[in-house]
Amino acid sequence: MALSKEELLHIAKLSDLKIADDEIDDYLKKVDDILEYTEIINNAPIEGLGETIGANDNYNVFRKDEPVQFDNIPGIMENCEETERNMYKIPKVIE
């Protein structure tokens, strides 16, 4: 199932990535190579089998819904390129 240029650009858009015109052929070839290899799973004897979602036996882990104050807020804020009054600064969302 070959990936078309339009599909590739659509997927890139969904992924918040930009693919330059001169990169398209390289992406198509390499992604196609891998997708072609993955076709092998169509031969796997999986009829009647359920899906394994997690790695181990599925179970839910619950913990008490208690708020905990993180002890290094300055350490978090220092990682943001632009902050003001302990808040992240971003471009206007609504024009």
Least CB distance to other proteins at residue 65 (A): 13
Q: What residues from 64 to 83 belong to the interface with other proteins (CB under 8 A)? A: 70, 72, 75-76, 78-82
Q: Is 91 in the site for other proteins (CB under 8 A)?
A: yes
And the tokens for 19?
A: 């693919």
Instruction: Annotate 15-77 with DSSP letters as a single string.
Output: TT----GGGHHHHHHHHHHHHHHHGGGGGS--TT-----SSSS-------------S-HHHHH
Residue ranges that bind other proteins, judged by CB under 8 A: 1, 3, 7-8, 11-12, 14-18, 27, 30-31, 33-35, 37-46, 49-56, 61, 63, 70, 72, 75-76, 78-82, 88, 90-93, 95
